[in-house]
Structure 1
């Protein structure tokens, strides 16, 4: 049985971001994993979490699904706080042992001191912006792809040795015409591709 940790990276703002969309994706993912024989644990960044318990979950997990809304081009600040606290406290035990460099061996490069080898992660993002802004030289992100625009989160996991799975994102979430039935089918198809077909 494979273990998956689902991290709810949502931060609530009244009347703007209540967390219902994030919850919908997490509920759908939980059902998918349970139906496919995964053992599931949850973390909620907007909670009174215990850092040591979070690290135990990271050590336990074969997979991490990181679900969060993109606020101001990055993770919500409370989610960044979670990352800083958990990943930093995991030094020498769970997340990383060093930055990878060695005075004795100059071939060892920065970013190769991670302890999470074998762990795979998937980002699942909710966005206000349209998909047309990515991989478009005339778009807001100046030609960056979705993953390039979220490089800080990817590099955090890479620094710790984890491997990326294909990213999911949903866009234009405030337009009022979001077809969630269709989006959840796309989401679940990608979960199958990432966690079942690529085993």
Structure 2
């Protein structure tokens, strides 16, 4: 496996990454009679074959909802496209006003970006504080909540979050991802990863 891995070195360390998870060494997966792959946002299901060894024939018949009735409705607005003068200050004022009546969530890519919301956010959730904070949102009105670099795996149904603002895109999580995106010019792969995380 090691000869096929990618190795990236920067000023802070070394990262070695296999091209995909070596499923044959994960005993629970390698010995399983059945495997269930669950996802709501997989943009490219070929990774189930290449990375997880799924049977491509089986992937042609996924189990899916009969109707879209259970799926949430989203309206995505890009204020900067409508008004190039729209600024972060405008967004803060809008989110703060909205959060007086309903829960509003802002997702930022880093702790540094979260500092810009200090003083107006009712809660900043990062690391181990995220789960308890999300539970509070589901239970009632909290106000304006800032999530730090948590784009995926967040479930905020109905009144838990009525307005969600994404302030900048998620940062690459690994050295290998950063090299793929910037050094190798694979912006498409990086963009697909970001889209999947945000969905």
TM-score w.r.t. the length of structure 2 is 0.27
